[in-house]
Amino acid sequence: MWLEDHLITPIQRIPRYILLLRDLLKYTPSTHADAPRLRDAVARMEALAGHINEMKKRSEKSVMMIMVQRIVKHCPAIVTPARQVRRLSYVCLSRVYVNEHVRVSMR
């Protein structure tokens, strides 16, 4: 197994725990003393999974900002905690010099 395979394993545990807790709750009588605690555990694990997904998205957007800043020559510092990528499109730009003016054209 590669390193990436080992790194994803802890992230995969949370959804597995949610499925396990849901099955446990499904087969636990509603009158059982542990039923309310199981419902609470499922809700907390689902909230944790949502938080992890949100943080992962933020991290990916930060990485995109760093990549854009590195790719664009003479790019000012755009990476700050308050900024995030809204949409990333791939555009091929070329400079065309006409009469000492710079015109950027898209291909």
CA distance 38 to 18: 10
Total-model pTM: 0.64
Say whether 104 sits in a helix, a strand or coil: strand
For residue range 40-60, what is the model confidence (pLDDT) as tens digits? 999 999 999 999 999 888 888
Per-residue pLDDT of the chain (107 residues; tens, 9 = 90+): 677 776 777 778 899 999 999 999 999 999 999 999 999 999 999 999 999 999 888 888 888 878 777 777 777 777 777 777 777 666 555 544 444 444 444 44
Q: Could you tell me the two tokens for 86? A: 């809204």
| Helix-helix angle 3-26:35-71, to 10 degrees | 150
